[in-house]
Amino acid sequence: MGIKYRRVLLKLSGEALMGELGYGIDPSVVQEIATEVAEVVGEGVQMAIVVGGGNIFRGIKASAAGMDRATADYIGMIATVMNAMTLQDALERMGIPTRVQTAIAMQEVAEPYIRRRAIRHLEKGRVVIFGAGSGNPFFTTDTTAALRAAEIDAEVIFKATKVDGIYDSDPHQNPTARRFQSLTYSHVLTHDLRVMDSTAIALCKENNIPIMVFDLTVRGNIHRAVKGEPVGTIVGGFCEVI
């Protein structure tokens, strides 16, 4: 099977970089992700990445503990830049040209986010990592992923998680939970399945951007996903369980 998606946006949670650690960044996990990204980029896929910061700082959690929400969110944005720079280093050590663009100006370590420049980097075969979320508090990095995907005309969003798709109930608590092969945006919103936050889902629905949810911990899944193989659940079609 050939490559199905030529321009994709990969959404990584900060927790994905943590591996089995309780906090921070596991270099071996970052290296594994970089290796997979390098493989698909080597086949001509244009890859953009939005990374979260929950492995370092979670704004919502800090806000619940009494911190001002806007301040907490800005700190969380800075955490995403730390993750973005770590991922950039791993990719460039593998010979993959990479640019970090941030929604908050950090000119000594990253480019400012400029849509046309980001698209040009992709066209030249560079991986673009978007840091600092959308630059606005009260918005998640899931919403940032949907926004950036629409802006760069991505064909699909890969939502890389620790489960192999979306289920009708928690598979860790319900052994008979059924996995969806495909779902509509409306079904996700109506049933509050929390694949991504509702703002992100609405943005994807409005711009007709499919979301593929799959297990990042399975080696080779990113490569299978760009080929269109059914490695998880795709949001944007009809509802089908398996």
- Positions at the binding site: 11-14, 53-54, 58, 73, 134-141, 161, 167, 170
User: How far apart (Å, rounded) are the C-alpha atoms in residues 43 and 40?
Assistant: 5
User: How far apart (Å, rounded) are the C-alpha atoms in residues 14 and 54?
Assistant: 5
User: How far apart (Å, rounded) are the C-alpha atoms in residues 118 and 95?
Assistant: 19
**CA count, 13 A, side-chain hemisphere, 93:** 13
- Positions at the binding site for UMP: 53, 73, 134-141
- Positions at the binding site for ATP: 11-14, 54, 58, 161, 167, 170
User: How far apart (Å, rounded) are the C-alpha atoms in residues 195 and 116?
Assistant: 29
Backbone angles phi, psi at 77, to 5 degrees: -60, -40
Cβ neighbors of 173 (< 8 A, separation 6 or more) are: none
Q: Are 129 and 157 in contact (CB under 8 A)?
A: no
Q: Return the amino acid letter for 150.
A: A
